[in-house]
Structure 1
């Protein structure tokens, strides 16, 4: 009998340990992925649409840093008496709180000149601050300069294995989501962008 009790006690302890480890593993798996979205007024459509913010944040803990007239690494254009910090400054200001994934949707307020070097500066800053991956969103090619910027974004992915290109231009083609400029979105467009970005963010954590 004592041997049986000892064996039973050992089994119970082992089962308890397994249950605790399984619980810890599940908790780790379901912990929201910390991410930051840095963008300009086009990306800001998400922040104006509560449902879009909710959609993007499922399984994620997203910090939204979205400013009108933002540029990548140069001084932004003035808007209502102030100038937004550029994307690089926004990233640098967050330090280690940047999160596992940085999402960048910036470029409509500038030409493609200097954008490649700007990408490299942002990438270095993000990785130095602990980001595991960066999701870079392509621009809608309503103007030729935006097409050139997209070429630059795709080329950067060859230099940076941590960079994933989210081709919003291709995905959003022919969608009835946009204002007369073809860039800024309706609520439906903001929700579409949120749904579009989610899988890229999760993939970026496994780079």
Structure 2
């Protein structure tokens, strides 16, 4: 009986330790020594078996392009900081993507709510997922769609062209995956990335 109880307690302990604790955070509550560019979009504090972290997505919106009044630019940033008790946060990784040299309609936006922290492979290390669109267009054409995942400093990405939905009509163009690093990823990552692609591929105009 004691053996069964001990095994059960060990199983429960391992299960609890493998959970990812997440907490949304307001930008007004950020520590002063956290550095970022752009305007905060989504902030999540999380803890896994390797420590405590803060994930941030930001975007600048459309800006004038320095040195050229004709063109504009927009930038996206993603950050993960490791939080140290009594010490300064350490930048674990940073994402930076952009649209530049654009004098048409510009899209450079994180998909709302796409910053997600999970542990699909149940190894106690969090996976940080984001998805965003980029385009410079003068007509009804689809944006680039990118789905990015980091587990620690390991990165995978799925990139392609989305599809446009206008009213109830879906345009024929797009819906093409041009690069898929998840082909070499664990199965759980590959399947989840595919689900996110299906979820986000349609861009409504």
Q: TM-score, normalised by structure 1?
A: 0.32
Hey, which of these two has a bigger chunk of strand by percent? 2
User: Greater Rg, structure 1 or structure 2?
Assistant: 1
Which structure shows the higher helix fraction? 1
TM-score (norm 2): 0.32
Bigger relative CO (Cα 8 Å, ≥ 6 apart): 1
